[in-house]
Amino acid sequence: MWNTNSLWFEVAVVTSLTAVGSIFFSHFEERTPKWRKILKLIFFVFVTTLISATVGRIWAMSFLGLILLFVVYIHAIWLPRKGINGWTGEPREKYYELRGWKKKEK
């Protein structure tokens, strides 16, 4: 069965979610600095493994589930209310304004 003493499962889940999220939603982070993306990954691996090591895997997976629900809320409800497609991030001008990014020069 599963070795509950190992935290590699949690690391694999967080990095897999990050990879899938990057594949489908990287256009939402196109102007985010690379160091910030790396820091975010390290933060989520650290927090998830800390929760798992201290109070258990169920709580760590529940934490990730809550984060995923928040992401779904942002993309399915909050962004569309702002007039932005939660899947494509269009219109770009509105999304850039929301993020505080300047329009790209051509």
Segment 2-41, tens digit of pLDDT:
555 689 999 999 999 999 988 988 888 888 899 999 999 9
The answer to whether position 50 is within a domain reads yes
Integer Cα distance of 3 and 10 in angstroms? 12
The answer to whether position 2 is within a domain reads no
The answer to whether position 93 is within a domain reads yes
For 37-51, how does the pLDDT look when each residue is reduced to its tens digit (9 = 90+)? 999 999 999 999 999
Q: What is the pLDDT of residue 42?
A: 96
Say how many domains are in the chain: 1
- 31: tokens are 């102007």
Provide the residue range defining the domain that includes 16.
Answer: 8-99
